[in-house]
């Protein structure tokens, strides 16, 4: 009985391996990263007629790796890759939290892919980006700026991947979302009127937001043991975020968000009263009708009514964070201190919460003028 021909053992070259097959042809293989690939012939065949041909195939791969032109077999040609194809790869590699991913997906679906999706990546030029920017989302400038910022981020990655030589996002001043109207922080008397008007289970949330600058999600995630009454600190370690699948308890959106926030002595009594009446074993601010933390919908409803009755219908709950950080700045906090208080990862982010109050500016002008006294003209 005739024996079945066996493949010969692979022989290593200086790069990759060459294997003689029972057919007498040769197969060249090599490893890049953790993946194993076959070096094809110039015509795309998987095997080579001679061992020398296989060696030449490995040499071609080695040269392509050295000069940066190597592509994994089956990978799309960079010159033919569409924006949408690159976005799929970018989404796979990007490590963002669920809510951020959903936000990105909405911007891609509604603002970017309809224009750029079918275009070749190399055809996304500064002129194309400028034309898109000029015509998109004219009625919602904040959405336009966010979409532009995401486009710039994606194309920056294409530059890093060496698929583009430079980022075509060159619109001067774009990507910086400006509020539709200037935010006027609440005064202490307005904050207290609002705190007095909301149901008492929400009172401490109003005071902590306005005096300590905590976000709603950070407040909702607090547990009774998050507040150290002896050390007078609030330990912020988590945040509650709303996603398409429901609410999610997660880490703060940046490492800077994990922080200890000083608890003012004047709020100790408020905290103790709240702990004794409204907190449960799990949450400092439990929902009124479920074992979950309070929802932003429930708070927003009562806050809107209380703010209107206090004469500030323009205020939102998040504006109390502006109130706290503006007050801290007026008391002399440095930018680094404001950054730490707010849990911001950059000084630029902290600056967005600073507001120049007319009364404060007038007082500063008077103090500058006092230096001149009654000097003669």
Active site residues per annotation: 215, 318, 321, 344, 353
N-to-C CA span, the chain: 122
Q: Token digits for 172?
A: 């001067």
> What are the Cα distances from residue 338, in Å, to 86, 317, 345?
38, 19, 11
Please tell me the distance from the alpha carbon of residue 208 to that of residue 267, in angstroms, as a whole number: 8
**DSSP one-letter string for 317-362:** TTHHHHHHHHHHHHTT--HHHHHHHHT-SSHHHHHTT----HHHHH
Asked if residues 310 and 198 have their Cβ atoms less than 8 Å apart, the reply is: no
Please tell me the distance from the alpha carbon of residue 214 to that of residue 322, in angstroms, as a whole number: 10
Please classify residue 323 by burial: count the beta carbons closer than 10 Å to its beta carbon, then call 0-12 exposed, 13-18 middle and 19+ buried. Answer: buried
Q: What is the Cα 316 distance to its own chain's centre?
A: 22
In terms of Cα–Cα distance, which of 317, 326, 321, 318 is closest to 356? 326
Q: Token digits for 294?
A: 């309070």
In terms of Cα–Cα distance, which of 59, 151, 163 is closest to 120? 163
Q: Token digits for 317?
A: 């709950």
H or E element, residue 369: helix 358-370
Q: Token digits for 69?
A: 């032109």
Asked if residues 287 and 294 have their Cβ atoms less than 8 Å apart, the reply is: yes
Please tell me the distance from the alpha carbon of residue 247 to that of residue 229, in angstroms, as a whole number: 29
State phi, psi for 255 to the nearest 5 degrees.
-60, -30
Torsion on CA atoms 66, 72, 73, 77, rounded to nearest 10: -90
Q: Token digits for 18?
A: 């060459």
Asked if residues 206 and 195 have their Cβ atoms less than 8 Å apart, the reply is: yes
């Amino acid at each position: 009985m005739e024996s079945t021909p066996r493949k010969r053992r692979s022989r290593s070259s200086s790069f990759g391996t060459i294997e003689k097959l029972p057919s007498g042809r040769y197969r060249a293989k090599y490893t890049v990263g953790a993946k194993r690939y076959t070096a094809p012939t110039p015509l795309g065949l998987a095997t080579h007629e001679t061992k020398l041909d296989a060696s030449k195939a490995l040499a071609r791969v080695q040269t392509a790796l050295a000069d940066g032109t190597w592509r994994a077999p089956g990978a799309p040609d960079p010159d033919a890759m569409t924006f949408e194809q690159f976005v799929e790869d970018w989404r796979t590699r990007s490590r963002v939290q669920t809510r951020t991913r959903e936000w990105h997906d909405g911007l891609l679906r509604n603002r970017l892919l309809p224009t750029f999706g079918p275009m070749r990546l190399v055809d996304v030029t500064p002129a194309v980006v400028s034309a898109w920017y000029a015509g998109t989302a004219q009625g919602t400038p904040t959405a336009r700026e966010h979409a532009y910022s995401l486009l710039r981020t994606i194309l920056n990655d294409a530059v890093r991947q060496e698929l583009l030589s430079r980022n075509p996002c060159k619109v001067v001043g774009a990507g910086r979302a400006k509020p539709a109207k200037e935010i006027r922080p609440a005064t202490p008397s307005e904050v207290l009127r609002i705190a007095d008007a909301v149901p008492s289970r929400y009172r401490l949330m109003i005071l902590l937001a306005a005096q300590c600058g905590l976000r709603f999600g950070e407040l909702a995630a607090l547990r009774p043991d998050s507040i150290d009454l002896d050390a007078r600190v609030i330990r912020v370690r988590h945040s509650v975020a709303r996603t398409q699948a429901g609410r999610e308890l997660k880490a703060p959106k940046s490492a800077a968000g994990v922080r200890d926030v000083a608890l003012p002595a004047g709020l100790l009594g408020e905290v103790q009263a709240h702990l004794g009446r409204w907190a449960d074993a799990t949450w400092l601010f439990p929902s009124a009708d479920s074992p979950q933390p309070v929802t932003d919908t429930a708070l927003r409803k009562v806050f809107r009514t209380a703010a209107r009755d206090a004469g500030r219908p323009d205020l939102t709950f998040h504006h109390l964070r502006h109130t706290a950080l503006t007050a801290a700045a007026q008391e002399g906090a440095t930018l680094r201190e404001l950054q730490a208080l707010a849990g911001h990862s950059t000084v630029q982010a902290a600056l967005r919460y600073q507001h120049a109050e007319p009364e404060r500016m007038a007082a500063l002008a008077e103090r500058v003028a006092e230096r001149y006294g009654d000097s003669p003209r």
